[in-house]
């Protein structure tokens, strides 16, 4: 167990934290989940303030960080990029310097392609307090930590030999970031799982993330394979995580990506596909999902779905990160 994470940034823990540090965060998350369940106070961050800076909309991330900070005895300060001087030119360095002097931690969601992760790192470089990544275009660490916690709740802490299918699914709403599938393949290959990435050829992920995932699988004794057949991805899987993402590696053009996406409208998770997986298989999705486009109601509302546990576990892993890094 690593007991000194004070001051650590969590921008890409799936890549940058040791396995021991990740296990420590999960231990604390389970303890905090238990404390909340039995009503045991845990105001570890009394009088502390967390700045929450959003460049994009959010339901779960905002609500869980705000609730978590209140439960830890502190305050979460919501900052919207559109209604502050950030929209008139406050730079990343200025935000790091200034908000860092008002607060004890800064959390940021900035998903612009080729910009978000760099922006968060620039804020961190200028900030005297730890910075947390609430999603950028490359990583979504707290979603994936919550997913890991959810998987371990279902299958135990030793995940070696379990098969997870991280799959593209069609959605009509917008060109979503690559961050969820990328953080998933990075994290799950570190835990000795058999990780499948199933996607149409236009929906590749970043090559450096793919290379790192292969390397992780080699080191952990797991495996990493890439498929392009939607049905095949379900076969024999213990966990399926089919969700939409954009074809960013093929085109950044919205219209072109929409035309490409329309070739794959049949990539929808339904009961027939779920029946191809193992009997105990769980269905996962970070939400929001495009219902009856990405996944049928019968699957997402069905007995194999753990989507609400994933959403709940956002609260516990984020509280653990705050308690460990913002003391």
Residue (71 or 220) nearer to ligand CP, CB: 71
The answer to whether the CB of 109 falls within 8 A of the CB of 55 is yes
CB of 289 to ligand CP, least distance (A): 10
Closer CB to ligand CP, residue 135 or residue 244? 135
Q: Which C-beta is closer to ligand CP: that of 44 or that of 139? A: 139
* Residue from 23, 27, 42, 58 in contact with ligand CP (CB under 6 A): 58
Per the DSSP assignment, residues forming a β-bridge with 195 are 164, 224
In terms of phi and psi (left: phi > 0; alpha: psi -120 to 50; beta: otherwise), the region of 17 is: beta
**Total site size for ligand CP, rule CB under 6 A:** 8
Are the beta carbons of 133 and 14 closer than 8 angstroms?
no
Name the residue among 79, 111, 83, 75 with its Cα closest to residue 95.
79
Judged by CB under 6 A, the stretch of 57-65, 74-82, 97-105, 273-281 that binds ligand CP is 57-65
Q: Which residue has the tokens 């303890």?
A: 31
Q: How far apart, in Å, are the Cα atoms of 139 and each of 2, 33, 87, 111, 120?
A: 23, 24, 24, 9, 11
Write down the least CB distance from residue 57 to ligand CP, Å: 7
CB of 255 to ligand CP, least distance (A): 24
Contact predicate 217/224, CB 8 Å: yes
Is 173 a binder of ligand CP (CB under 6 A)? no
Q: Is 286 in the site for ligand CP (CB under 6 A)?
A: yes
Q: Does 18 bind ligand CP (CB under 6 A)?
A: no
Decide: 197 and 224 in contact? Cβ < 8 Å: yes
Give the CA angle between residues 106, 308, 304 to the nearest 5°: 140
Judged by CB under 6 A, which of 77, 226, 287, 293 binds ligand CP?
287
In whole angstroms, the minimum distance from the beta carbon of 181 to ligand CP comes to: 13
Interface with ligand CP includes 110 (CB under 6 A)? no
Q: Which of residues 115-144 bind ligand CP (CB under 6 A)?
A: 135, 143
Chain residues in the site for ligand CP (CB under 6 A): 58-61, 135, 143, 286-287
């Amino acid at each position: 167990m690593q007991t000194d994470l004070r001051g650590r940034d969590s921008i890409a823990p799936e890549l940058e934290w040791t396995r021991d540090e990740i296990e420590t965060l999960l231990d604390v998350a389970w303890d905090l989940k238990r404390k909340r369940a039995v009503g045991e106070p845990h105001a570890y961050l009394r009088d502390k303030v967390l700045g929450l800076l959003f460049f994009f909309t959010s339901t779960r991330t905002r609500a869980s960080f705000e609730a978590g900070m209140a439960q830890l005895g502190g305050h979460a300060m919501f900052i919207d990029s559109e209604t502050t001087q950030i929209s008139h030119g406050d730079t990343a360095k200025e935000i790091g310097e200034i908000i860092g002097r008002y607060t004890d931690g800064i959390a940021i969601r900035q998903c612009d392609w080729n910009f978000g992760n760099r922006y968060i790192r620039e804020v961190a470089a200028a900030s005297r307090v730890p910075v947390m990544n609430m999603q950028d275009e490359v990583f979504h660490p707290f979603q994936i930590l919550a997913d890991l916690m959810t998987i371990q709740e279902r299958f135990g802490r030793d995940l070696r030999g379990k098969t997870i299918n991280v799959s593209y699914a069609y959605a009509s709403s917008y060109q979503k970031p690559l961050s969820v599938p990328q953080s998933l393949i990075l994290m799950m290959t570190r835990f000795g799982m058999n990780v499948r990435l199933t996607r149409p050829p236009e929906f590749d992920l970043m090559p450096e993330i793919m290379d790192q995932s292969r390397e992780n699988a080699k080191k952990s004794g797991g495996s990493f394979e890439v498929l392009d057949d939607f049905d095949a991805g379900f076969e024999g899987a213990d966990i399926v995580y089919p969700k939409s993402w954009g074809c960013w590696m093929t085109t950044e053009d919205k219209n072109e990506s929409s035309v490409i996406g329309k070739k794959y409208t049949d990539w929808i998770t339904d009961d027939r596909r779920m029946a191809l997986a193992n009997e105990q298989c769980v269905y996962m999705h970070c939400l929001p999902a495009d219902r009856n486009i990405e996944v049928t109601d019968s699957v997402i509302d069905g007995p194999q779905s753990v989507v609400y546990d994933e959403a709940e576990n956002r609260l516990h892993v984020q509280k653990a990160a705050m308690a460990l890094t913002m003391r």
